[in-house]
Amino acid sequence: QVQLVESGGGLVLAGRSLRLSCEASGFSLERSSIGWFRQAPGKEREGVACISRSAANTKYADSVKGRFTISKDNTKNTVYLQMNSLKPDDTAIYYCAADLVSVDCNLSGYGIDSWGKGTLVAVSS
């Protein structure tokens, strides 16, 4: 059974850092691309970062470029999102999602096969 479990969210002050984790089970990260998405109250879901199957290609939303870094550890079957210089606008529920077919990744959510349940990130000013 394909499953994704996010962790690492919380309440932080603006300017601080958090690292989110997404532990995968039921499939191998070596054969899938992974994305992090977020949804703030009253807003549409937004693709934040994604990493391709081989990890050779990463993509970021303009709003987080230079502040967020996505990575994955195939030995732990876990994907990470390092978030630095957090801003109040980063407040949202963060979801990881897996595309079990595509070699590359995208921030649109197209082709996603499985979603996690999300973890809340709240940034106060």
Residues 32/25, Cβ–Cβ less than 8 Å: no
pLDDT at 124: 98
pLDDT at 85: 98
**Across the chain, what does the average pLDDT equal?**
96
pLDDT at 90: 98
Residue-wise pLDDT for 81-94, tens only, equals 999 999 999 999 99
DSSP-derived letter for residue 90 is G
pLDDT at 8: 98
Residues linked to residue 73 through DSSP beta bridges, in sequence order? 78
Residue-wise pLDDT for 3-33, tens only, equals 999 999 999 999 999 999 999 999 999 999 9
pLDDT at 66: 98
Q: Provide mean pLDDT across the span 40-55.
A: 96
Rounded Cα distance, 117 and 75, in Å: 23
- What residues contact 5, with CB distance under 8 A and at least 6 apart? 22, 23, 25, 116, 117
